[in-house]
Amino acid sequence: MPSGNLPEILAAQVLFWLLLPVVVFCPPRWAVLAWLVMGNLDATGPGGPTSTAVGWINAAKGVAIPLYLWWRLRNPPSSVLQSLPARVWLALTAYASLAILWTPAALPGLKLAGNMVGILLTLIVLEKAARLGYLDSKTIVLLVLA
């Protein structure tokens, strides 16, 4: 489960695993809050071969969890996807994904494309959470304190 040489990396990994059940099983307000706290944790640490390894915890925080939260918050409609900036971002993401086919550094390209998808998913989740009233001043104060 958790691994790492530095105590702060180990602490970030332990916090990730402690917060993951909150994201999966708790009410959406707490799930979004736990995900936002989780997003501030770096579970990979400094250095290391970032071009040859995938930080699976960071991939989960950046893509899988926002995708899951998007599904959980599916009730209010999202206007992010219909906006011009989102469409341009999707086109740029598609181009970056296509460029992976001819690059000698495919893994960093995949990580970039995943990050780009994660950014759009994050905006969608934050918009839906705000529309549902989960991101109010009380929740933001809790997030800052956490």
Spell out the domain ranges in the chain: 7-145
**39 burial via Cβ count (<10 Å: 0-12, 13-18, 19+):** middle
The pair of structure tokens assigned to 39 is 């997003």
Residue pair 118/96 in contact (Cβ under 8 Å)? The answer is no
| 82 touches 68 (CB < 8 A) | no
Residue 13 is predicted with a pLDDT of: 86
The pLDDT score that the predictor gives to residue 97 is 93
pLDDT of residue 1: 47
pLDDT for the residue 86: 94
Instruction: At 2, give phi and psi (nearest 5°).
Output: -70, 140
Helical residues (DSSP H) of 2-146, grouped into ranges: 7-25, 28-38, 56-59, 65-72, 84-99, 106-131, 137-145
Which residues of the chain carry a pLDDT beneath 70? 1-5, 45-54, 146
